[in-house]
Structure 1
Amino acid sequence: MWHRAFAGGGAALPWRSLARRSLFAGASSAVDSIILRSLKDHYLEVSKMTPPPKVNPPSSYTIVKGALDQDGPVLRRSYKEEEINISVMRLSNIMPSGADDDDGDDSINQLFLHVEVSKPGRDDSLQFLCGLYPDAVGIHSVCLRPKVTESSRLTDMTKYQGRVFQELEQKMRDAFHIFIETRGINEKLFPFLQAWLYVKDHRNLMRWFKSVGTFINEQKPA
């Protein structure tokens, strides 16, 4: 009789589907609460971390305004008629996963520099990729490429970049090391850039916890 009554009133009500939806809705709400609670706990924990002592860059360099909140150069200086811009990241951030497992804590002492040396009136610049350590700088590559700009961070990778640095004769490699050393690209940059990366990583992590929490907690429009 009940079957006939429901059938006579139109399509049968999907009781099982409704119950499943209710169960999923309840589970989703519980999962959201767990994530939000965890994000808040981690946010508070990270906010209490003690920052490293303030370190100033070498006197010849100035900190690029807004560098902490954007990608791009961190330090800038003039050398004669040249302008020198330095960008930095941790070497571990660009190495394949597991590639530096044997280094242990030493991985935090390996920084990767992009150095751009430009001259007025030229559309290209001399660009170096370097490894920076507490006691040394090593050049990985050197090439002449279009200047890096805010509107175009990526350049034409098909353009001939020159020979692999390690394939250059020793005399030329030594000369390039002297070239960057003369312009203040040396281990004296390490203390500031390491501390700067710590602050940037800390700020990015705090921002990530907050933005993910805001996304999950945002109510759907009625």
Structure 2
Amino acid sequence: MWRKALSCAGGALQRQAWRTIPYRCSSTASVTVNSIILRSLKDHYLEVSKMTPPPKISPPSPYTVVKGALDIGGPVLKGTFRDEEISISVMRMVDIVPGGSEDDYDEDSVNQLFVHVDIYKPNLQESLHFLCGLYPDALGIHSVSLRPKSESSESLDVPTKYNGPVFEDVDAKVRDALHGYILERGISEELFPFLQAWLYVKDHRNLMRWFKTVGSFVNATQQETLEA
């Protein structure tokens, strides 16, 4: 009976040992993978932290930087023209056109910006919204529409109202007049150097934050694995 009991116990221990070996191997592999990830993140973090930022550039008059714009979405610049208030938001074209590969991100594509301009007038519930393509040497209007002010604060969202006709289909005289309208308010290619530098700083800050947050998550996972 004892022999049978010991035999059964030995078999149970042996089965338990076989069950724990893969677990230990899995835990060891997990710790190794986590260590590789953490080391890689740290190396890239240090590499990115040494990158030379672009020269500090001030936005052209009459615009000033919106406080906290680097850490939140929405307008980057604000300004006034007579009794109007103007806000400007920006994105790179490569950040909003899906399906692109790294090979597509050449200098020309990086130098293409989308600018959202909202012009507000006192006592009006809507803003005049311009979606423009901005380049180092030119600015072109893609569309013109009226938007409720509640939507204008989220200037990169898709408007819920009619977005206006295809701008190229509008009469040439109207197109020229609208170009003159925004040019009078300081919306031109002169904004490009500042907005491109601002996007670089924002991307750099987001990348550094990403390295930190992913590293913190993986490190917490590794600590849990070691304590298990």
Deviations 1:64-110 (A, max 9, x none): 00111111111100111111000011111112323896673211211
Moved more, 81-90 or 114-123: 114-123
Asked if 1:42 corresponds to 2:44, the answer is yes
Among candidates 51, 62, 65, match of residue 64 of structure 2: 62
Alpha carbons of 1:55 and 1:136: their partners in 2 closer, same or farther (altered >3 Å)? same
Moved more, 167-176 or 208-217: 167-176
Among candidates 125, 129, 133, match of residue 127 of structure 1: 129
Deviations 1:159-182 (A, max 9, x none): 223222222111111111111111
Q: Tell me what 2:90 maps to.
A: 88
Asked if 1:212 corresponds to 2:214, the answer is yes
- The answer to whether the 8 A contact 1:146-1:155 is kept is no
- Whole-angstrom distance in 2 between the partners of 1:51 and 1:184: 26
Aligned-pair Cα RMSD in Å: 2.7
Q: Tell me what 2:6 maps to.
A: 5
- Whole-angstrom distance in 1 between the partners of 2:154 and 2:108: 35
Please report how far the alpha carbon of residue 3 of structure 1 lies from its aligned counterpart in structure 2 after TM superposition.
Answer: 7.5
Q: In structure 2, the residue corresponding to 1:35 is in which secondary structure?
A: helix
Higher fraction of helix = 2
| Structure 2: 5+ residue stretches without partners | none
Name the TM-score, length of structure 1 as normaliser. 0.89
| Structure 1: 5+ residue stretches without partners | none
Deviations 1:138-194 (A, max 9, x none): 11111111123658974652x223222222111111111111111110011011111
Alpha carbons of 1:47 and 1:103: their partners in 2 closer, same or farther (altered >3 Å)? closer
Please report how far the alpha carbon of residue 11 of structure 1 lies from its aligned counterpart in structure 2 after TM superposition.
Answer: 6.3
- Whole-angstrom distance in 1 between the partners of 2:70 and 2:98: 25
- Whole-angstrom distance in 2 between the partners of 1:217 and 1:103: 32
- The answer to whether the 8 A contact 2:115-2:134 is kept is yes
> Identity rate of aligned residues, in percent?
59
Moved more, 208-217 or 117-126: 117-126
Q: In structure 1, the residue corresponding to 2:40 is in which secondary structure?
A: helix
User: Structure 2 counterpart of 1:5, which letter?
Assistant: L
Q: Tell me what 2:171 maps to.
A: 169
Alpha carbons of 1:100 and 1:25: their partners in 2 closer, same or farther (altered >3 Å)? closer
Name the TM-score, length of structure 2 as normaliser. 0.87
User: Structure 1 counterpart of 2:163, which letter?
Assistant: Q
- Whole-angstrom distance in 2 between the partners of 1:20 and 1:152: 53
Alpha carbons of 1:26 and 1:4: their partners in 2 closer, same or farther (altered >3 Å)? same
Q: In structure 1, the residue corresponding to 2:70 is in which secondary structure?
A: helix
Q: Tell me what 1:203 maps to.
A: 205
- Whole-angstrom distance in 2 between the partners of 1:98 and 1:152: 23
